[in-house]
Homo-oligomer: A and B are copies of this chain.
């Protein structure tokens, strides 16, 4: 497979795969020291290039001739490994850069991760790299590995054993954790998962995880990328990398910490990076069809199945074959939960299956071939062949167990059946010797010892194939929308306000094309009654103030006012309330009551890594307890907005479940898209915009009933910062 222009030989993955000369600073004769291990590993795993240990105090290092300094290295190495004290790193990197070495891998710790003087040393390092053009991995990295050509530029103990031969199945693994990354690499190889490229990013002083993923995608040999992530610094670049991966059919599987509040806090205190919202991260993964693993085991399972040859089922219709009816039901549970379709077989294909199975077998999907497989393996193999031949089948999952005496025959048969079809076949083999798992993987058939793991792999194949066609949205070629003329914002800020009042807020979002409810501002009870008469009862009356962002909590919203008398009473009470809360300048706003079968929420806020984001979700009472929202970095196109709406759990309600008026989902998607572009353009002036509720009117079109705009600091303050997007204080 060719992916267009060949990758930059000077990219980190490119250099790992082609390096022929490696210089090691801080080279140690002790093969258990950080400066000794890379030399030992390079030789132990058969690196065929040249190794230059730098050690001015020795003639040899681990039997290799030592050099006193870079000047004594006769060629320009591809990689400099630096295992020196922190204070000497920047100077060494500068020398390497000046010499023309393209890449330094810096093991040294005691830099930015300890703050203070360390951070200053890292700044120096960054300058040295920028000024000489050398790229830097780390500092504070355990290093990088390329199995194919035995480039072991690492000191991690994961390689400190010889139980297994490393292999390269086209799986690359980028980890923001050195320790856990090393454990996982070791676990992967001892369980047959061939991670051929490993990179630990360390402090990311220069090379970050986004760029490394981007460069890995460009390598023809990369079939799948695993990423262990603690925090993303450059969200937009990360998105570019994921977009490139999808474009080039390279699945990315992410294990990210910080799903829980406490976990996010722990990750932030560990990495020193601001933790973005996990919901935003999840939206980014959805946008780019990235698979998210929940556990280490899942990441390896999914990586392995994605590296297998047949990873493109044409749909989600799965045929399940077992030799136990109970196991079939169990696997059906898993399949349904994962959104696979355990479809009903046609009578014709059930008949074909019935011809070869025992009379007491069940030919309804899940198919129970019965225990007869113990005495007749060919029958079982033939049934798998029929399942794959059935044109309704997109992929087949079979369950076996034990059967040690028959395992060779069954593995051969399954291999032949799989070879006769272009559809994925996934095997669960519970118990037994374990040898079938190895044999089937070697034959290119994904095989697992647990039914749940097998079905998760099957669903991942369908997820990848189903989402691999990009649904563009938020891409750079979208029109950015009109520039914002934020009169309301300027006016409010000159009054020293932190928020826009409701009327100004809705005026602002109305400019984005969001329909807003009719309303009349009143300054006393008489005016409120006149307004209600004009709008028609029942009405809603609220306090209007730009110093009262959360009206409901103060009881400043009165709904369902059915008559002039009720309206008058409510208006008077609200004005009393305002006076008692030092809001004497508050007015009233009167609106007609709208039906509210379903409340939506539409918002913009800012993420430290991904900048302005767009949120759409179900609002109302339970939104606060069990949120049903979709979030993407802004802007989103109307098409992506529609995909966000379709992903809401509350979609059936929007579609008109139980006699409700169906929402016009295309109109809603247009509103979301327009709001997204517009509010992204507001990001310098406003920290957040929340339209809540956005109701569905009688005609199915969305109507904004309230809006809260939280202003950013004054633009003149902002101009002094050079970051395009600032963080919520």
Interface residues of A (CB under 8 A from B): 113-114, 156-158, 160-161, 163, 176-180, 182-187, 190, 228, 230, 255, 257-264, 266-267, 269-271, 294-297, 323-330, 332-333, 335-337, 342, 360, 362, 364, 366, 368, 371, 374, 401-405, 430-434, 449-453, 537-538, 552-553, 555, 560, 562-563, 566, 597-598, 618, 620-622, 624-626, 628, 649-650, 652-653, 657-659
Give 19 new A-B contacts, CB below 8 A, not counting A255-B330, A257-B329. Answer: A113-B360, A158-B402, A178-B324, A180-B330, A182-B431, A183-B430, A183-B431, A186-B401, A187-B449, A228-B326, A257-B333, A260-B333, A262-B333, A262-B342, A263-B332, A295-B453, A562-B566, A563-B563, A625-B657
> In the complex, what distance in Å separates the CA atom of A566 from the CA atom of B330?
55
Question: Given A332-B263, A597-B621, A180 and B659 touching (CB < 8 A)?
Answer: no
- Copies of this chain, count: 2
Inter-chain contact A332/B180, CB cutoff 8 Å: no
Contacting pair A553 B342 (CB below 8 A): no
C-alpha gap A317/B187 in the complex (Å): 29
User: Given that A326-B257, A329-B266, A337-B260 are known contacts, is A658 also in contact with B624, CB under 8 Å in the complex?
Assistant: yes
A374: chain B residues at CB < 8 Å are: 157
Known: A157-B403, A180-B326, A296-B430. A332 touches B266 (CB 8 A): yes
Could you tell me the distance between the alpha carbons of A161 and B562 in the complex, rounded to whole angstroms?
81
The 4 residue pairs across chains A and B that have the minimum distance between CB atoms:
A562-B562, A183-B401, A270-B325, A186-B431
Say yes or no: A260-B332 contact (C-beta < 8 A), given A267-B326, A327-B177, A452-B296: yes
Q: State A450–B161 Cα separation when bound (angstroms).
A: 20
A179 touches B371 (CB 8 A): yes
Query: CB < 8 Å: which of B294, B332, B431 contacts A184?
Result: B431
Question: A433 contacts B327, CB within 8 Å?
Answer: no
CB distance from A635 to the nearest CB of B (A): 29
- Do the beta carbons of B270 and A329 come within 8 Å of each other? yes
Whether the Cβ atoms of A430 and B262 lie closer than 8 Å is no
From the candidates B228, B259, B368, B650, name the one contacting A333 in the complex (CB within 8 A).
B259
A160 CB contact (under 8 Å) in B161, B295, B402, B620: B402
Shortest beta-carbon distance from A685 to chain B in Å: 29
Give CA–CA (A185, B401) in the complex, Å. 11
| Least distance between A340 CB and chain B CB atoms (Å) | 10
Residue from the list B158, B294, B452 in contact with A452, Cβ < 8 A? B294
| 30 A-B pairs in the complex with CB atoms less than 8 angstroms apart | A114-B360, A156-B402, A157-B374, A157-B403, A177-B324, A178-B371, A179-B371, A183-B430, A186-B401, A186-B432, A187-B431, A187-B449, A230-B326, A258-B333, A260-B333, A260-B336, A263-B329, A263-B336, A266-B329, A266-B342, A266-B366, A270-B362, A271-B326, A295-B450, A295-B451, A295-B452, A297-B452, A538-B560, A625-B653, A626-B628
Contact residue among B180, B260, B624 (Cβ-Cβ distance under 8 Å from A657): B624
Q: CA separation between A178 and B326, bound complex, in Å?
A: 9
Most buried by B among A259, A431, A451: A431
For A158, what are the chain B residues with a Cβ–Cβ distance below 8 Å?
A: 402, 431
Contact check, A180 vs B430: say whether CB atoms are below 8 A apart.
yes
A621 and B326 contact, Cβ closer than 8 Å, known pairs A401-B183, A431-B186, A451-B296: no
> Given A552-B659, A658-B553: A263 and B230 within 8 A (CB)?
no
Q: Which residues of B contact A566 (CB under 8 A)?
A: 562
Residue of B nearest to A298 (CB): B452
Q: Complex formed: what's the CA distance from A162 to B180 in Å?
A: 36
Expressed in whole angstroms, the Cα–Cα distance for A69 and B313 within the complex equals 58
Please, how many angstroms separate the alpha-carbon atoms of A113 and B368 in the complex? 14
Per the bound structure, the CA–CA distance linking A337 and B258 in Å amounts to: 11
Docked CA distance A374–B113 (Å): 20
User: Which chain B positions have C-beta within 8 A of A178?
Assistant: 324, 371
Residues of B within 8 A of A262 (CB): 332-333, 335-336, 342
Contacts of A364 in B (CB 8 A): 266, 269
Are the C-beta atoms of A368 and B270 separated by less than 8 Å?
Answer: yes
Indicate if the CB atoms of A263 and B330 lie closer than 8 Å: yes
Closest to A186 in B: B431
